[in-house]
C-alpha cells in the first residue's frame, strides 16, 4: 500500500512499538500532525515548549528504559530542543527526535523557519539523518531507533523535509537493520575477564565504582550479586544511584565532589578499583594527579573511548555491563579460590571508621527548615519508592545524598550537562510512563522557573506530580561557590521578585502549599502524596545559608574533603549571609 | 608523535563535517586531511595527518571509530607504509634564475607543467619532507603560490584497508 511520508512516520512509530511521543507542532510539521490526528494508538503529549518536550521524552526514557520520542517543527522548534538533546547526549539517553524541515527545494535558501538541523545538532547527537527521499524514510526511522537504543545509547535526530512528508511510497517497515560500520559488542573478552577476577581476588582494599551504565544495561541485579558475592564495598556515581540498593550494607554512598567521606576515602585508599559503566568524570575524580594513587584499575564499559580517557587502566574490558558482570559471576561461581576474608575484614574496619565520621550529619535542631530534612522526610513518606526527578543545584545534591534509592531508574537527573529546567518536564515524562506511581520533582526556586510553563502540560494531562521546591531565595549552588571562593560576593545569585508559588500553582489548576516551619514538613508531604489525583506544589522556605557537604574543591583530591562545620558538635549555629 | 590515520567512510554528505567537527570539538590537531572517492562508490577514503601523545592518538582513533559514518580505520604509522603528497608551485623564473629553478626541478625529479615568459608552474610528488626540502631550496626564487594536496598514504606489503 502507498502511504504518504507523514503516514509513514506514524506507522513506523507504531511498528516500533511507540506508545507516547512528546511534541509541539508548526508549519513544516503540519502533514505529520495531520497524520497523528487520524489515529489514536500513539498518544501525543503536547508540551508547552520544545525544550520541555525533549526533557519529557528524556525523563520517559530514563524511567521506562524505552526510547523517548520527540516531534517538533523546523527552525525555532529545533533550536528549542538543543538543550534537551545535549542533556540526553551527555547522559547517554536513547531519544529519537523527529524534526520537520523546510521542503527540499528550499533547503539552503534561508527559507522561513529553516535551520541546518543536521549541522546544529551534530555535536550533541549519537547520529543524525536528513531524509531527502520518502523511499528512505521507514528505513531511516528504523536505523534511528536501533542506534538510539543499542551500544552506548544516545539521541538520534531524523530531519524530515515537508515535501518528503507529502510524497508517497510503498510502506514496509524493516524487522531489523544492519549498519556495516556499527556493531556494538555484548560479551566481554573472556581472557580479560579472567584476569580481572584474579586481580579482584588478590585485592586487599578493593572498591567497586559503578555508574549510569549499569542502569542503561539493566545490570542492577548482576551488580548487586557481584557486590554481595565478593563482599566488596561499592560506591555509585550520581548517575548510578539505585542500581545497588542504598540499603545494602556494602553501599558507601555516592562518590565525588559531594560524595560521602567513606566513599571518597575508600576510593583514595583502594588498591584495586572495579569501574563499571562509569567514566571517571571530573566531578567524580577531583584532581586527577591525586586520584586513587595506589589503585590498579579494571574498567568495564560499552564505549571503548570511555576507557583510558581520563585515567590509565590496567584491565580494559569492552562490553555490555550486564553481560560482563555475569561472566565475572560465572567465573567466581566455578572458582574454589575465594576472597581473603581476614584481609577484607581489615579493610571494612577502616571503612567503618570513615563511616563513623557521619559526613552527612547536619543540624537537626534548627528552627529553620533544613533542605536535607525535607529530602529525608520525602524519602520516609514515599517509603523510598518514588520516582524522583531533580533540577540542578544544591537541591539536586541533597536529593542524591538523602533520598535512599533502592531501585534503578528511580533517580532521574541531568548529571552530565547539569541542565536547570530539566526536573519538571522530566517528571512529566516519568508520570506518563507510570501514571500511577508517585513522582516527585525536587527543585529550587531558580531552576523551576526555567521550564515552569510545563505546569500547564501537567494540568492538561492530569499529572499528579509533587513539586518539592527547596526555596532558599538563592541560586544556592552558585551562592555556595561565591561564599567559599569569592569572599561572599554574591553576584547576581539572589532570586529577587519571586512569584507567589502557591498562587502560581493554583492559577494552573494545581494545589500549592507554603511550608515555613520544620514541624510542618512531614504533614505537608503526607497531604501532598495523599492527593493522588493532583499536582501539589510544595514551596519549602529553607535555610538560605545551608551548604552542600562534604565538598571536594577544585584541585583537591578525594582525601581532601571539606566537611560540614555544623557537624563538629555545634548545633543551631545560624550563619548570617553577609 | 606524527600519525597518519586512514579511514574508509560512508560516501555521504555529512561524513566530512562529522570528522572535522570531532577534531575541532575535542581540540585534536589536524595537519592535513584528504578525502576522495574509492573504487567502491559507497565509500570515500580519507587520510588524516595528526599529532599527539600516544594517549591522545588512542582517543582520536577510538572517537573516530565511534562515528557511525566511519567504516574502517587504520593507523598507517603503526606499520611500514608509503606516503605521498602532491605539490604545485608557481615561481618567478626570469633571467638566470630561470635556469636555476629548472635545475632544482630536475634534481628533485619534479616537472614543469606550465610556463610563461616570467613564471614556471612546477609539479612534484613525494613524502612531505621532500616537498618541504624543495620549497626550501626554492627560497632564492620568488614563490608566487604554493598548493599542497595533503598526504595520501597506503600500507606496504599485504596490509590493506578495505571492507
Ligand atoms: C541552564 C543552566 N544555567 C545555569 C546553570 C548554573 N547553575 C548551576 S546550579 C545553579 C543555581 C540553581 O539554583 P536553584 O535552582 O535555586 O537551586 P539551589 O542550588 O538553590 O538548590 C546555577 C545557576 C545551570 N546549571 N544550568
d(CA B52, nearest CA chain A) in Å: 14
How many Cα atoms occupy the beta-carbon half-sphere of A296 within 13 Å? 14
A417 lines ligand 1 (CB under 6 A): no
d(CA A453, nearest CA chain B) in Å: 33
Q: Is A112 in the active site?
A: yes
Of B17, B66, B163, the CB nearest to A305: B66
Per CB-CB distance under 8 Å, the chain A contacts of B24 are: none
**Ligand 1, from A82, A420, A473: best to mutate by most atoms within 8 Å of Cβ?**
A420
Of A123, A182, A305, the CB nearest to B68: A182
Total beta-carbon pairs less than 8 A apart between chain A and chain B: 36
Of A119, A181, A305, the CB nearest to B69: A181
A419 lines ligand 1 (CB under 6 A): yes
ipTM above 0.85, yes or no: yes
Ligand 1 center from residue A71 Cα (angstroms): 28
d(CA A192, CA A184) in angstroms, rounded, equals 18
B68 at the A interface (CB within 8 A)? yes
| Cα–chain center distance at A55 | 11
Concatenated DSSP letters for B40-106? STTEEEEEEEEE--HHHHHHHHHHHHHSTTEEEEEEGGGS-EEEEEEEEEEEE--THHHHHHHHHHH
A470 lines ligand 1 (CB under 6 A): yes
The residues that bridge with A274 in the sheet, in sequence order, are A208, A298
CB A45 within 8 A of CB A74: no
Is A308 within 8 Å of B55 when comparing Cβ atoms?
Answer: yes
B59 at the A interface (CB within 8 A)? yes
Tell me the CA distances in angstroms from A164 to A56, A132, A212, one per residue in order: 27, 7, 38
Q: pLDDT tens track of chain A, all 578 residues?
A: 899 999 999 999 999 999 999 999 999 999 999 999 999 999 999 999 999 999 999 999 999 999 999 999 999 999 999 999 999 999 999 999 999 999 999 999 999 999 999 999 999 999 999 999 999 999 999 999 999 999 999 999 999 999 999 999 999 999 999 999 999 999 999 999 999 999 999 999 999 999 999 999 999 999 999 999 999 999 999 999 999 999 999 999 999 999 999 999 999 999 999 999 999 999 999 999 999 999 999 999 999 999 999 999 999 999 999 999 999 999 999 978 889 999 999 999 999 999 999 999 999 999 999 999 999 999 999 999 999 999 999 999 999 999 999 999 999 999 999 999 999 999 999 999 999 999 999 999 999 999 999 999 999 999 999 999 999 999 999 999 999 999 999 999 999 999 999 999 999 999 999 999 999 999 999 999 999 999 999 999 999 999 999 999 988 999 999 999 875 433 323 333 43
d(CA A60, nearest CA chain B) in Å: 26
Nearest in space to A546 (alpha carbons), one of A385, A373, A410, A291:
A373
Nearest in space to A297 (alpha carbons), one of A283, A282, A276:
A276
CB A45 within 8 A of CB A22: yes
d(CA A160, CA A345) in angstroms, rounded, equals 60
Which ligand 1 atom is nearest residue A395's CA? 21
CB A257 within 8 A of CB A561: no
CB atoms < 10 A from the CB of A293, how many?
A: 12
Q: What is the pTM of this model?
A: 0.97
Nearest in space to A259 (alpha carbons), one of A233, A244, A237:
A237
d(CA A151, CA A302) in angstroms, rounded, equals 6
Tell me the CA distances in angstroms from B4 to A108, A375, B38, B78, B81, one per residue in order: 34, 54, 18, 9, 10
SS3 A212: helix
A447 lines ligand 1 (CB under 6 A): yes
Point out the catalytic residue in the list A7, A16, A50, A326: A50
Ligand 1 center from residue A441 Cα (angstroms): 15
Amino acid at each position: 500500500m502507498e502511504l504518504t511520508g507523514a503516514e509513514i512516520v506514524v506507522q513506523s512509530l507504531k511498528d516500533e512499538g511507540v506508545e507516547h511521543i512528546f511534541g509541539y507542532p508548526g508549519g513544516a510539521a503540519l502533514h505529520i500532525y495531520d497524520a497523528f490526528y487520524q489515529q489514536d494508538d500513539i498518544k501525543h503529549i503536547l508540551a508547552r515548549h520544545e525544550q520541555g518536550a525533549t526533557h519529557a521524552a528524556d525523563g520517559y526514557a530514563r524511567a521506562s528504559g524505552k526510547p523517548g520520542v520527540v516531534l517538533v517543527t523546523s527552525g525555532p522548534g529545533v533550536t528549542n530542543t538543543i538543550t534537551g538533546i545535549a542533556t540526553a547526549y551527555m547522559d547517554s539517553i536513547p531519544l529519537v527526535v523527529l524534526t520537520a524541515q523546510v521542503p527540499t527545494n528550499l533547503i539552503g535558501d534561508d527559507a522561513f523557519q529553516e535551520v541546518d538541523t543536521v549541522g546544529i545538532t551534530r555535536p550533541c547527537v549519537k547520529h543524525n539523518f536528513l531524509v531527502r527521499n520518502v523511499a528512505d524514510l521507514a528505513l531511516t526511522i528504523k536505523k534511528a531507533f536501533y542506534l538510539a537504543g543499542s551500544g552506548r545509547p544516545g539521541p538520534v535526530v531524523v530531519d524530515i523535509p515537508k515535501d518528503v512528508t507529502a510524497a508517497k511510497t510503498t510502506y514496509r517497515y524493516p524487522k531489523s537493520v544492519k549498519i556495516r560500520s556499527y556493531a556494538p559488542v555484548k560479551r566481554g573478552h573472556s581472557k580479560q575477564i579472567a584476569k580481572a577476577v584474579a586481580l579482584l581476588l588478590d585485592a586487599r582494599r578493593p572498591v567497586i565504582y559503578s555508574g549510569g551504565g549499569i542502569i542503561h544495561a539493566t545490570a542492577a541485579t548482576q551488580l548487586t550479586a557481584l557486590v554481595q558475592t565478593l563482599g566488596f564495598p561499592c560506591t555509585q556515581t550520581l548517575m548510578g544511584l539505585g542500581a545497588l540498593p542504598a540499603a545494602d550494607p556494602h553501599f558507601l554512598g555516592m562518590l565525588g565532589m559531594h560524595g560521602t567521606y567513606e566513599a571518597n576515602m575508600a576510593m583514595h585508599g583502594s588498591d584495586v578499583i572495579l569501574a563499571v559503566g562509569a567514566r571517571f568524570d571530573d566531578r567524580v575524580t577531583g584532581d586527577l594527579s591525586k586520584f586513587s594513587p595506589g589503585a590498579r584499575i579494571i574498567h568495564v564499559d560499552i564505549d571503548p573511548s570511555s576507557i583510558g580517557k581520563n585515567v590509565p587502566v590496567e584491565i580494559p574490558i569492552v562490553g555490555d555491563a550486564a553481560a560482563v558482570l555475569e561472566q565475572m559471576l560465572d567465573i567466581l561461581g566455578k572458582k574454589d579460590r575465594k576472597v581473603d576474608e581476614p584481609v577484607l575484614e581489615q579493610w571494612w574496619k577502616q571503612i567503618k571508621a570513615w563511616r563513623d565520621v557521619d559526613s552527612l550529619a547536619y543540624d537537626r535542631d534548627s528552627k529553620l527548615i533544613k533542605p536535607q530534612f525535607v529530602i529525608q522526610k520525602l524519602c520516609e513518606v514515599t517509603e523510598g519508592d518514588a520516582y524522583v526527578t531533580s533540577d540542578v543545584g544544591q537541591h539536586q545534591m541533597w536529593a542524591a545524598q538523602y533520598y535512599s534509592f533502592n531501585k534503578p531508574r528511580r533517580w532521574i537527573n541531568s548529571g552530565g550537562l547539569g541542565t536547570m529546567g530539566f526536573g519538571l518536564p522530566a517528571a512529566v515524562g516519568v508520570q506518563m510512563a507510570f501514571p500511577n506511581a508517585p513522582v516527585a520533582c525536587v527543585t529550587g526556586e531558580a531552576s523551576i522557573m526555567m521550564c515552569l510553563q510545563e505546569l500547564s502540560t501537567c494540568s492538561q494531562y492530569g499529572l499528579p506530580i509533587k513539586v518539592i521546591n527547596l526555596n532558599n531565595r538563592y541560586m544556592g549552588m552558585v551562592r555556595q561557590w561565591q561564599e567559599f571562593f569569592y569572599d561572599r560576593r554574591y553576584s547576581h545569585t539572589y532570586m529577587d521578585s519571586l512569584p507567589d508559588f502557591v498562587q502560581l500553582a493554583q492559577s494552573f489548576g494545581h494545589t500549592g502549599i507554603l511550608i515555613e516551619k520544620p514541624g510542618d514538613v512531614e504533614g505537608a508531604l503526607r497531604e501532598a502524596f495523599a492527593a493522588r489525583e493532583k499536582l501539589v506544589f510544595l514551596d519549602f522556605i529553607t535555610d538560605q545559608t545551608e551548604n552542600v557537604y562534604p565538598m571536594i574543591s577544585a584541585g583537591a583530591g578525594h582525601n581532601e574533603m571539606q566537611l560540614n562545620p555544623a557537624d563538629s558538635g555545634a548545633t543551631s549555629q545560624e550563619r548570617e549571609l553577609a | 608523535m606524527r600519525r597518519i590515520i586512514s579511514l574508509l567512510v560512508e560516501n555521504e554528505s555529512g561524513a566530512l563535517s562529522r570528522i572535522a567537527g570531532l577534531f575541532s570539538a575535542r581540540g585534536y590537531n589536524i595537519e592535513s586531511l584528504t578525502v576522495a572517492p574509492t573504487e567502491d562508490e559507497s565509500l570515500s577514503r580519507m587520510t588524516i595527518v595528526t599529532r599527539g601523545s600516544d594517549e591522545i592518538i588512542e582517543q582520536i582513533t577510538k572517537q573516530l571509530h565511534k562515528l557511525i559514518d566511519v567504516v574502517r580505520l587504520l593507523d598507517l604509522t603503526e606499520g611500514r607504509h608509503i606516503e605521498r603528497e602532491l605539490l604545485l608551485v608557481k615561481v618567478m623564473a626570469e633571467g638566470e634564475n630561470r635556469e636555476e629553478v629548472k635545475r632544482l626541478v630536475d634534481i628533485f625529479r619534479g616537472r614543469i607543467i606550465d610556463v610563461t615568459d616570467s613564471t614556471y608552474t612546477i609539479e612534484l610528488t613525494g613524502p612531505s619532507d621532500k616537498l618541504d626540502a624543495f620549497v626550501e631550496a626554492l627560497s632564492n626564487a620568488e614563490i608566487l603560490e604554493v598548493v599542497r594536496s595533503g598526504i595520501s598514504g597506503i600500507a606496504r606489503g599485504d596490509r590493506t584497508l578495505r571492507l
